[in-house]
Amino acid sequence: MNGFWRERAVLITGASSGIGRALALELGRHGARVGLFARRAEALEAVAAAITAAGGAALVLPGDVTELAHLTSAVARMDTEWGGVDVLVANAGVARPRDPFDPEAVAALMAVNFQGAVNAVGAVLPVMQRRGRGHLVAISSLASVRGFPQGPAYSASKAALSTYFEALRVRLRPYGIAVTTVHPGFVDTEMTQGAGRLPFMVTAERAAVIIRRGMERGKSTVNFPWPAVLAMGLVRRLPDGLFDRLVGRVPPRQD
């Protein structure tokens, strides 16, 4: 435990399960005040109860990231209760619907993974600009490095997210606002349930510790776990023909 997080107000989208939940508990333990945003209010209540039981502070902020008004209300509530938002973690994400040939399915996925993060940034930015400080964090994915045929829309949504946040990093630096993009490999959460054994998978708790440390150091990118980062570094450099043959061997998930 260090003093870095003491009384910092952190808004986490997708805090009801998986990485978002684990990060909320991790930051709460380190003294942060955590705004918990997601659609499942009951699950958020349980996370808030665990944080307060450990001596931390949390606000339950039920909402959908595809609705900008839900996010602006959540930010207004944090502003009233805690005087602003110091850190946004745009973590809410989905891997379904998977059908890459159904335009409505692709739009629905993009609406959460990309536009949902854009909405969260839009909601917190006026508060951060008013104060001349802040930290935006996006939970992207190593799946953003190339177009994986097992999840074309998912890969595209994460590539869009990483590119957007990289550009924001440069645009917002003069305003005192830092930007971090996180690229996890496989993490054991609801999203990966039923997928069997996945290479180099880490627990959500381990992911939360790595993300917290990266945020404390103000890193521009946080990529983990290292064996997956190395593998994806190679995959990124593969010539198209070899990439097509290798990734084409892995069948797409049908669920």
Ligand X SMILES: NC(=O)c1ccc[n+]([C@@H]2O[C@H](COP(=O)([O-])OP(=O)(O)OC[C@H]3O[C@@H](n4cnc5c(N)ncnc54)[C@H](OP(=O)(O)O)[C@@H]3O)[C@@H](O)[C@H]2O)c1
Binding residues vs ligand X (CB under 6 A) = 13-20, 38-40, 43, 64-66, 91-94, 112, 116, 139, 141, 184, 186-187, 189-192
Between 176 and 252, CB nearer to ligand X: 252
**Residue 57, strand partner residues:** 33
Q: Which is nearer to ligand X, 39 or 131 (CB)?
A: 39
Closer CB to ligand X, 18 or 56, in the complex? 18
Q: Which is nearer to ligand X, 143 or 178 (CB)?
A: 143
Q: Is the peptide bond before 97 cis (omega within 30 degrees of 0)?
A: yes
- Cβ 52 to ligand X, closest distance in Å? 19
In the complex, least distance from residue 149 CB atom to ligand X, rounded to whole angstroms: 17
With b for 16 or more beta-carbon neighbours within 10 A and e for fewer, the 102-136 pattern comes to eeeebebbbbbbbbbbbbbbebbbebbeeeeebbb
Strands 33-38 and 177-184: unpaired
Helix (H) or strand (E) holding 57: strand 57-62
Would you call 175 a catalytic residue per the annotation? no
Residues 231, 72: Cα–Cα separation, whole Å: 39
The minimum distance between CB 178 and ligand X, in angstroms, equals: 20
CB of 92 to ligand X, least distance (A): 4
| Counts of helices then strands in the chain (DSSP H, E) | 9, 9
> Helix 103-113 vs helix 115-131: angle between axes, to the nearest 10 degrees?
20
What is the CB neighbour count within 10 angstroms for residue 173? 11
Peptide linkage before 199 cis (omega within 30 of 0): no
- Considering 5, 37, 148, 154, which one is annotated as catalytic? 154
Structure tokens at 144: 């953003």
Nearest to ligand X of 148, 186 (CB atom): 186
Report the nearest approach of ligand X to the CB of residue 205 (Å): 12
Catalytic residues: 154
